[in-house]
Amino acid sequence: MKRILFSLALLGLAGVEPAFATGGFACEADDKNLIFSAQSPLGRGMGSPIINLQATSEIKLAGTPADLAKLDLSKHLVHSWMAGPDLRLHFYREREGNEPHAYVELIIMTKVVGDEGATEGTFQLTVFSSQDSTTLEASGKVTCSVE
């Protein structure tokens, strides 16, 4: 079922991508602290860049500022690494507007398991707010599929 959903997600994204996008990946995490999903086609033959990434997070950690609880992270990928056994994603999003500084940082570190394009690993979540100088942290499990 997961692979079907993944394929449908990529088909939806592929409609706006050039023909060279022939693969992609999808990741998800869902536990008491975080609901996270990300999916993107990959440009084959061009260094496999991530193109048209779609990523969202819902942070359920107690004390998370309301404006950071649900975020679109699609434009906030600062690093990625997909080579060999690794699939890694590093998101960073700061609070927008004139409110005191705050940010969400989410680091996904996974490795290939088996030979069907599945990767497993962990997320590290950090929520910082300068308003009350709090840093909230959580970690958990992430799974990804690569095709």
Partner 1 sequence: MIWKEAVLMFKPLIASCAMTISAVALSGQAFATGGILCDANDANLKLSVVGTVARAIGQDISSVQGSAVIKFATGERPFDLAGTLVQSWLEGDEARLHFYWNPKDIEGLSGIEIVIKTSGNITDAPKTGTYMVSMFPVSSTGTIRRIEGMASCELD
Between CA 58 and CA 60 the distance in angstroms is 6
To 10 degrees, the CA torsion angle through 74, 147, 16, 77? 20
In the complex with partner 1, the residue whose CB is nearer, 35 or 90, is 90
Q: Give, as one character, the DSSP assignment of residue 5.
A: H
Whether 9 contacts 28, CB under 8 Å: no
CB of 86 to partner 1, least distance (A): 8
Contact residues toward partner 1 (CB under 8 A) are 45-49, 76, 78-83, 88, 90-92, 94, 105, 107
In the complex, least distance from residue 15 CB atom to partner 1, rounded to whole angstroms:
23
Q: Which residue matches tokens 């088996």?
A: 114
Output 48 or 54, the one with its CB closest to partner 1: 48
Q: Least Å distance between CB 110 and partner 1?
A: 13
Identity of the residue, 9 or 108, whose beta carbon is nearer to partner 1 in the bound complex? 108
